[in-house]
């Protein structure tokens, strides 16, 4: 059995296939980000899945792609945990989510690939290797145009009363914005980035509002300027592809901002897990 995993900070998709590429089962757990969760929290999230517990000794190969796996220490922590849980596996590979985005969006073809989900990132694949010019420092100081960045902007604008009154009323009826509740989730609860990202849903429920259009463009412009334009030579030759729920719902605004910054948009993939499975099935058949 081969287990393929795509994890963000909010949710984690697991799909098991046999050696012929047939699906055995699929399941979803909470996000498995080793940069912000303890070993105990990560293990607890695996243990909540009946399928992952029942099939733990049947997994022969595990390919895990996830947020928070871009630096060595968190990556190794998760790898050790997975090897311990799936103890019969003779191969356990852990890579960051940019690799999953590349394989899902362009496979083995070259292109610039961006992640706009709970977090955000950007890389260039030459078809063989993945290159990054900026190492993401996470949601507190980076992650422009991500779900957590938009959630933060909405809460700030609401609090500073710079959000239109009509939308303030709508926003406050959809979320608990009591200051003590907000601060508790930001500073005392796990996954504050995922907490912030939940508020970004408000954007996609109000896409035609002028204020929302402005907020969307603000984030996409920052992301384009800080991340995509790092590949200023590559964008002359290759398209820019996007992966993630934010990208999927913001497709129209992405194309508008792309025109401003003079790059061409390629594929937009909402959930990379399906593309990942196809990628690994092709690898199996060509082996």
Closest listed residue to residue 37, CA positions, set 184, 148, 245, 192: 192
pLDDT of residue 260: 97
pLDDT of residue 95: 92
As a whole number of angstroms, the distance between CA 103 and CA 244 comes to: 13
Phi/psi for 242 (5° steps) reads -130, 140
More confident residue, 275 or 86: 86
Closest listed residue to residue 98, CA positions, set 129, 76, 67, 141: 67
Residue 287 has pLDDT above 70, yes or no: no
Identify whether the C-beta of residue 113 lies closer than 8 Å to the C-beta of residue 239.
no
pLDDT of residue 207: 92
Average pLDDT of span 214-218 = 96
As a whole number of angstroms, the distance between CA 161 and CA 158 comes to: 5
Q: What percent of the chain has pLDDT over 70?
A: 100
Q: For domain 2-101+272-286, give its CATH number from 3.40.50.10540, 3.30.565.10, 3.30.420.40, 3.20.20.70.
A: 3.30.420.40
Task: Tell me the DSSP string of 77-128.
Answer: HHHHHHHHHSTT-SEEEEEEHHHHHHHHHTTTS-EEEEEESSSEEEEEE-SS
- Supply the pTM of this predicted model: 0.83
């Amino acid at each position: 059995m081969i287990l393929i995993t795509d994890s963000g900070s909010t949710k984690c998709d697991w799909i098991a296939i046999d050696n012929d590429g047939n699906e055995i089962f699929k399941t979803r757990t909470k996000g498995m980000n080793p940069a912000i969760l303890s070993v105990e929290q990560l293990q607890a999230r695996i243990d909540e899945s009946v399928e992952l517990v029942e099939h733990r000794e049947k997994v022969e190969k595990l390919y895990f792609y996830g947020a928070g796996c871009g630096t060595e220490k968190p990556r190794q922590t998760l790898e050790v945990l997975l090897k311990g849980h799936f103890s019969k596996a003779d191969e356990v590979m852990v890579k960051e989510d940019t690799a999953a985005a590349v394989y899902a969006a362009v496979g083995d073809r070259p292109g610039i690939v961006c992640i706009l989900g709970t977090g955000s990132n950007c890389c260039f694949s030459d078809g063989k290797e993945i290159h990054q010019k900026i190492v993401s420092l996470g949601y507190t100081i980076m992650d422009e145009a991500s779900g957590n960045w938009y959630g933060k902007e909405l809460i700030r604008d609401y609090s500073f009363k710079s959000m239109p009154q009509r939308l303030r009323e709508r926003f406050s009826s959809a979320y608990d914005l009591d200051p003590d509740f907000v601060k508790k989730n930001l500073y005392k609860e796990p996954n504050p980035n995922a907490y912030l990202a939940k508020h970004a849903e408000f954007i996609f429920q109000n896409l035609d509002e002028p204020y929302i259009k402005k907020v969307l463009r603000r984030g996409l412009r920052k992301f384009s300027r800080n991340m995509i334009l790092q590949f200023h030579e590559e964008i002359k030759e290759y398209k820019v592809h996007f992966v993630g729920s934010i990208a999927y719902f913001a497709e129209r605004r992405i194309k508008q901002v792309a025109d401003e910054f003079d790059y061409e948009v390629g594929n937009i993939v909402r959930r990379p897990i399906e593309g990942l499975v196809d990628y690994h099935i092709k690898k199996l058949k060509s082996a």
